[in-house]
């Protein structure tokens, strides 16, 4: 009987470990370079401290037409941060993978200096639904982002 209990515990542990590994692999599918539907920027999503963050790595128009200088975060509510360059800027912050989506994060819109709550869903390996909202998810807007380096289906 003792042997059976030990065997059962062993299989349980293996299953649990396999499950957590699968969950982590699924969560990490978010990492990579993505392009929003407007095509004006490309965002690289990476993992830091068990959360997911996205930063602008490419801008179609890197320079501000009025100054001819690299674009900066001129609409930031904190005046002391308005000279931070937009290239390299982290616009997606603090996403946690739970229940098959990346939630509890925020998205920053440099065009108006506003930060919105945000949830990310993966339609398929190369397509994301990024929903920004204020307060309740129902009142928001969804944008479709495409992966830049297309992953082939296994």
Partner 1 sequence: MLRHKTISNFLLVLASLILINCSGGNQSRLEKIRVNLKSEGPLYNGPNTATGIWKPAISQGKQVKSVRFTQVKISSIDTSLNGLAANLVFQLASSNAEMKKIAFFKGKALSNELVFQVAGEQENLEEFFKGQEITFVVDYDLIPDEWNENLTFTLEFDAELVTD
By the criterion CB under 8 A, which residues form the site for partner 1? 44, 46, 48-51, 53, 55-58, 72, 77-81, 83-85, 87-90, 93-94, 106
State the nearest-atom distance from the C-beta of 53 to partner 1, in Å: 7
Q: Which long-range contacts (CB under 8 A, 24 or more apart) does 68-75 make?
A: 73/110, 73/113, 75/110, 75/111, 75/112, 75/113
State the nearest-atom distance from the C-beta of 12 to partner 1, in Å: 27
State the nearest-atom distance from the C-beta of 84 to partner 1, in Å: 5
Q: Which is nearer to partner 1, 12 or 88 (CB)?
A: 88
Q: Which is nearer to partner 1, 1 or 49 (CB)?
A: 49
Q: Which is nearer to partner 1, 84 or 122 (CB)?
A: 84
State the nearest-atom distance from the C-beta of 93 to partner 1, in Å: 5
User: What angle (nearest 5°) sits at the alpha carbon of residue 136, between those of residues 129 and 142?
Assistant: 20
- DSSP 8-state class, residue 134: S
Q: Which is nearer to partner 1, 39 or 77 (CB)?
A: 77
- DSSP assignment string, 28-81: HTT-EEEE-TT-SEEEEEEEETTEEEEEEEEESS-B-TTT-SB-B-TT-SSGGG
């Amino acid at each position: 009987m003792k042997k059976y209990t030990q065997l059962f515990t062993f299989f349980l542990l293996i299953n649990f470990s396999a499950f957590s590994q699968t969950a982590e692999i699924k969560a990490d599918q978010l990492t990579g370079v993505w392009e929003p539907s407007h095509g004006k920027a490309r965002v690289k999503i990476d993992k830091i401290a068990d959360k997911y963050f996205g930063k602008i790595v490419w801008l179609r128009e890197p320079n501000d037409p009025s100054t001819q200088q690299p674009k900066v975060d001129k609409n930031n509510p904190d005046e002391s941060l308005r000279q931070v360059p937009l290239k390299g800027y982290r616009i997606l912050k603090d996403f946690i993978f739970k229940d098959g989506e990346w939630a509890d994060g925020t998205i920053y819109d440099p065009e108006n200096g506003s930060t919105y709550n945000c949830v990310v869903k993966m339609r398929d390996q190369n397509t994301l639904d990024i929903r920004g909202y204020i307060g309740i998810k129902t009142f928001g807007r969804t944008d479709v982002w495409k992966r830049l380096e297309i992953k082939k289906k296994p």
